[in-house]
C-alpha cells in the first residue's frame, strides 16, 4: 500500500472448538543423571571402558539406564581431548537410583585412570501428556498458592 501501510482482507472466523486441550502432569518416578570425565591421551577409550563397566555393574538393577560418552578425542589433540561418561535412568524407587550414582562415584578409585569431576543429580520427574476435554465440563477460575517459606527478593 505504501511505506508502513499494509492492507489486510478476507479475515473470517469459525466456531470455537467444542473441546479444550489439557496438559496432564503425572508423577513419573525419579530420575538420576551421573557423570564422570576423562581427559588427555586416549580419553575416549578410557571413557568407553568406564561406560562398559557401568553397563555391567548396573545390569542387575531394575532400571534400563541410558549410558553414553559425550565428547570426542581427535587424533593428535591429546591435550585437548575430553570425554564425559554419562548415565541416566528413571525408576519408581529413588533408592535404586542412589545405587547408580554410587557406581559412577566408585569409578574414581575403581575404574580407568584419571577419572574426575563426578556429578550426580537426582530428582522427581513430572511427566506430561495431553488430551482433550469437553468445553462444557470446564469452569475457568484462578487459584493462587503461596509457598510458606518464600522470601522476598534481596
Partner 1 sequence: MPVRLHEFAHCRAGDKGNVATLTVIPYSDADYPLLVRELTAERVRAQLARHVGGSVLRYELPLLPALQFVCTGVLDGGVTTSLALDTHGKSLSSRLLALELPSES
Please report whether residue 27 would count as binding partner 1 according to CB under 8 A. no
Please, what is the minimum distance in Å from the beta carbon of residue 152 to partner 1?
A: 30
Please report whether residue 66 would count as binding partner 1 according to CB under 8 A. yes
Please, what is the minimum distance in Å from the beta carbon of residue 19 to partner 1?
A: 17
Binding mask 73-112 for partner 1 (x = CB under 8 A): -------------x-xxx----------------------
Count of C-beta atoms within a 10 Å radius of residue 27: 10
For residues 85 and 68, what is the distance between their CA atoms, to the nearest angstrom?
6
DSSP state of 17: P
101 neighbors 6 (Cβ within 8 angstroms): no
**Choices 42-50, 54-62, 126-134, 145-153 (CB under 8 A): range interacting with partner 1:** 126-134
CA angle 83, 66, 27 (to 5 degrees): 130
DSSP state of 26: E
Give the residues lining the site for partner 1 (CB under 8 A): 28, 31, 33, 65-66, 70, 86, 88-90, 125-130
Amino acid at each position: 500500500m505504501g511505506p508502513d501501510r499494509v492492507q489486510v482482507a478476507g479475515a473470517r472466523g469459525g466456531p470455537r472448538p467444542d473441546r479444550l486441550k489439557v496438559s496432564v502432569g503425572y508423577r513419573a518416578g525419579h530420575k538420576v543423571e551421573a557423570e564422570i570425565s576423562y581427559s588427555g591421551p586416549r580419553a575416549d577409550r578410557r571413557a568407553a571402558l568406564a561406560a562398559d563397566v557401568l553397563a555391567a555393574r548396573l545390569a542387575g538393577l531394575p532400571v534400563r539406564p541410558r549410558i553414553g560418552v559425550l565428547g570426542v578425542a581427535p587424533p593428535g589433540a591429546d591435550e585437548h581431548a575430553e570425554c564425559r561418561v554419562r548415565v541416566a535412568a528413571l525408576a519408581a524407587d529413588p533408592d535404586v537410583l542412589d545405587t547408580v550414582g554410587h557406581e559412577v562415584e566408585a569409578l574414581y578409585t575403581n575404574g580407568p585412570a584419571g577419572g574426575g569431576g563426578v556429578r550426580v543429580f537426582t530428582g522427581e520427574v513430572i511427566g506430561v501428556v495431553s488430551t482433550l476435554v469437553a468445553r462444557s465440563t470446564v469452569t475457568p477460575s484462578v487459584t493462587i498458592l503461596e509457598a510458606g517459606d518464600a522470601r522476598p527478593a534481596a
